[in-house]
Chains A and B, each alone.
Chain A
Amino acid sequence: MILKTLYSLIIASLLAVTPCFCEEDEQPEVESKIIVEHEYKGKSYRILSESEGYSGALYILRKDGEDWTAIAGDSSPFPLDQYGIEEKLSLELAKKFVEYEISTMGMAKVSENLSDRKKLPWDLKEAYSAHADVSHIRSVYRAKKKGLNPMVAALKKVENAQGADQLKLVVNKELAPYFHKIIIQIADEPKPELSSALFRALKSHPSLSELQQILAVYAANQERDFLSQVNSLPQDQRRVCAEALDAAVMAKLVGSKFSSPLKELVKTIR
Chain B
Amino acid sequence: MNSSIRFSITSLLIFTSKVAFCYILSFFAFTGCSNQGSGNQSGPQTNRSFHNPSAEEPGSSPAATPSRESAPAGSNNARILSAAHSALGESSAAGPDGGNLACAWMVNRILQRSVGYRINGDSTASMHQQLESRVRQGLAERIPIDSIQPGDIIISPTRFEPTRSTGHVGIMGRGGQIYENSSSQARWIQRRGVSGWRSYYESSNKHGGPLRTYAYRIMT
Contact = CB atoms under 8 A, between A and B. Distances in A.
A59 interface: yes
B137 A7 contact: no
Interface in B185-199: 192, 196, 199
Interface stretch (B17-25, B65-73, B82-90, B143-151): B17-25
Given A20-B58, A217-B136, A58 B121 contact: no
Contacts of B122: 75-76
Contacts of A5: 27
Interface residues of A, number: 71
Interface in B171-192: 180-184, 192
B59 A25 contact: yes
A74 B164 contact: no
Given A7-B30, A8-B23, A116-B112, A16 B100 contact: no
Nearest to B128: A74
Interface string B19-52: 1111101110010000000000000000011110
A180 B126 CA distance: 10
B60 A25 contact: yes
B133 A51 contact: no
A50 B166 contact: yes
B220 interface: yes
B9 interface: no
B98 A104 contact: yes
B104 A253 contact: no
A15 B49 contact: yes
B13 interface: no
A53 to B, nearest CB: 5
Contact of A256 (B21, B93, B132, B138): B138
Interface of A: 4-5, 7-9, 11-13, 15-17, 19-27, 30, 35, 49-59, 70-77, 101, 104-105, 109-110, 112-113, 116, 118-119, 140, 179-181, 183-184, 187-188, 213, 216-217, 220-221, 252-258
5 contacts: A56-B101, A75-B103, A101-B97, A104-B97, A109-B93
Given A7-B30, A116-B109, 17 more contacts: A12-B26, A13-B22, A15-B25, A16-B15, A21-B50, A25-B48, A26-B59, A27-B203, A35-B97, A50-B164, A52-B183, A55-B158, A55-B166, A76-B121, A188-B136, A213-B137, A258-B137
A-B pairs with lowest CB-CB distance, top 3: A255-B138, A73-B160, A187-B136
